[in-house]
Structure 1
Amino acid sequence: MRVLFVCLGNICRSPMAEGLFRQMLQSRGLDSRIEVDSCGVGDYHAGEPPDPRAMREAHHRGADISELRGRVIRLNDFEQFDYILCMDEDNLQALRRMAPETRRAHVGLLMDFADEGTGAEIGDPYFGSTDNFGRVADQIEAGCQGLLEHIERQEASD
């Protein structure tokens, strides 16, 4: 199983999602069975580390994302991943425009998996205050928790 988290530049939301989801997987002993990555729709920050505010918030929640580096989505990601989950509607539309018709991956919003936020977007905290990163991380954790429960239910029924 492979999961790819996507945001605009891959320095705030998607690396936090990657780190927080990895942490959830490790705590349940699933990290060897589910692979996680993140990327951006745009190449604005390719090769750069996550935003320091994102690193601080992830670290505060027990996840170290300091080694991650931004990358842009590739066409083969649509074949290599089972889930490609983005943070907002703009990025979802961009992914749908570039996705091959024969894609393997489920492409959708991360918050579709959250109990309280079906269809909700995770806003970009980049231009906001540090407090925005805490709210975004709360949303990401809710989406990741719902995703993990979905995957566990799916595996139990197989």
Structure 2
Amino acid sequence: MAEPLRLLIVCLGNICRSPMAEGVLRARIAASTLAGKVELDSAGTGGWHAGEPPDRRAILKAAEHGVDIAGLRARQLAPGDYREFDWLLCADRANLRDVRARMPARARARAALLLDWAGVEADGEIPDPYTGGPAQFEHVYQLLDRAADGVIARARRELGLFD
């Protein structure tokens, strides 16, 4: 079997957008022909929430859609992530800028905006719902749900899998 495609989803604190994305993508990939061929994780550019579970509102919103993210724990982007992952997929341009600023010269990983990489929206950003309410978390979930189809299609191309 070929090496798996390794994707790291990155946001600011790793308690809202990136764990929701990790959960949605894990569920969708597990139910697809990519099960076992794509590895996922999430991280934040900041370490303020390291070791904490996702924001309770993110956990609730994901659960409303049948996705369990309660067991995830926040972590900060680490130097090793640039060697271990193929793609660092960022929620917004500020995250992308931070990820690229820290990227070592011999990084294996490439960095991109998640929505752009997935073909959902060129230069598209996932807004941070942290200061918002249920409507903002629902909006983020819907963006991630749309992105999941694009991630699966792109991952199939990256892995050279064609039907």
Task: Please give the range of the TM-score, normalised by the shorter of the 2 chains.
Answer: over 0.9
Once the 2 structures are TM-superposed, how far is the Cα of residue 56 of structure 1 from its aligned partner? 1.1
The 8 Å contact of residues 20 and 62 in structure 2, kept in 1 or not, is answered as yes
- How many Å separate the matches in 2 of 1:87 and 1:49? 19
RMSD of aligned alpha carbons: 1.3
Give the conservation status (yes or no) of the 8 Å contact 2:7–2:85.
yes
Aligned residue type for 2:161: A
Report matched runs for 1:78-97 at 5 Å: 78-97=82-101
The alignment covers a number of residue pairs equal to 157
TM-score by length of 2: 0.91
TM-score, scaled relative to structure 1: 0.94
Q: Alpha-carbon deviation of 1:114?
A: 4.1
Q: Which runs of 4+ in 1 moved over 2 A?
A: 113-116
**CA distance 1:116–1:86, change in 2 (3 Å):** closer
Structure 2 residue ranges without an equivalent (≥5): none
- Give yes or no for the alignment of 1:117 onto 2:95: no
> Which residue is 2:134 aligned to?
130
Task: Tell me if 1:140 matches 2:153.
Answer: no
Q: Where does the alignment leave 5 or more consecutive residues of structure 1 unmatched?
A: none
The letter of the residue matching 1:44 is W
How far apart, in 2, do the equivalents of 1:91 and 1:63 lie? Answer: 24
Aligned-partner Cα distance in 2 for 1:85–1:116: 13
**In structure 2, distance between residues paired with 1:131 and 1:28:** 29
User: How far off is 1:156 after superposition?
Assistant: 2.3
